[in-house]
Amino acid sequence: MMPGDEERYSRQILFAPIGLEGQDKIRQAEVCIVGCGALGSFQAEALARAGVGRLRLIDRDYVDHTNLQRQWLYSEADAENESPKAIAAAGRLQRVNSGVQVDPVVADVTPSNAEELVNGFHLILDGTDNFETRYLLNDISVKLDIPWVYGAALGSYGIVMPVVPGVGPCFACVYPEPPAGPQETCDVNGILASTTAAVASLQVAAALRLIVGWPDFACRIQTLDVWSGSLRQMSAGARDKDCVVCGRRDFRYLDGYKRTPVSLCGRNAVQIHELARPLNLMDLAVRLRPLGEVRVNEFALRLAIPKFQLTFFADGRAIVKGTTDVGVARSLYARLIGS
């Protein structure tokens, strides 16, 4: 441990399942958090305060005023400045614990970059808001033998499940296919900050048990409802020997067969990420200014036109705010950038 760690983390060290040995393992741990929204931002601060050695924060989005009700780490100034979440979170965490190495990445996790982004980390925490990315994380987890902790929250309900390759079932064993049809979202159905905090707390607790090597660790599904006060825990079951992912090692999401545009949770928006093309944001700003109000910085360009706001990123992604219709979003992207 580093000088001063025994005093700083004394209350955590006094907790018998962690102790000095466990705290040293926490200090050496490298954790990748995918998504820095309501779940990921809480996970990041909790792990930084716990003394995790290195945190990689990956997020594709920027801070919006609607985030402030439930997303930790961010301020009104971050929303006003439209700061990328990963950058804003990293700045806050460095003030919380300067001894933690924080590596912010402003990017979308895709089949083309997923392995590079998470390879070498000891653990992945799910802070995402869509099943596509979770199946992609599951593919990566099984392929690279990296545990991950799934979590989801909506309204007052939440669910948590750790996935440890070779120990218990993978995500695809339990959920072979994503749910069909329209799904409830926090944009329509709402969400409580206490729900996201509870789910993220359980994810962090599972992460710490994995990091310290708690011998009684088991892959269990935990569900909760903070409004009714209910909490349930059940076995995730055994591995499915015929599972597409951990049984047959067919990584469909990692191979890109399932890639589609993603509707974002928490705002009336669609992200377009199917066309990988670097964008020169400053040049793009000059071209788009005649069409509407343009704001640009080193991370993103925002264009406001009647009915829509479009945010373009240097990697070619765009978030189209003002619609949940993928066809409309694609059409706008094609008109402004090209198909």
Which residue ranges in the chain fall short of pLDDT 50? none
Q: How far apart are the first and last CA of the chain?
A: 53
Task: Give the CA angle between residues 175, 221, 213 to the nearest 5°.
Answer: 115
Query: pLDDT tens, 46-99?
Result: 999 999 999 999 998 889 888 999 999 999 999 998 899 999 999 999 999 999
| 22: three-class secondary structure by DSSP | helix
Domain layout of the chain by residue ranges? 5-235, 268-337
Structural class in CATH, domain 268-337 = alpha beta
Tokens 């829509």 found at: 308
pLDDT at 258: 61
What CATH number has the domain spanning 5-235?
A: 3.40.50.720
Active site residue 32: no
Quote the pLDDT of residue 222: 97
| Residue 148, SS3 per DSSP | strand
pTM of the model: 0.84
Cα–Cα separations (whole angstroms), residue 68 to 44, 73, 74, 77 = 16, 9, 7, 11
- Using CA atoms, how far apart are residues 166 and 241, in angstroms rounded to an integer? 11
Which secondary structure element, helix H or strand E, spans residue 24, and what is its range? helix 19-28
Going by C-alpha positions, the residue among 225, 129, 229 that lies closest to residue 183 is 129
Q: Which residues have C-beta within 8 Å of that of residue 224, sequence separation ≥ 6? A: 157, 158, 159, 195, 198, 199, 202, 230, 231, 232
Q: One of 32, 36, 170, 186 is an active-site residue; which one?
A: 186
pLDDT value at position 64?
87
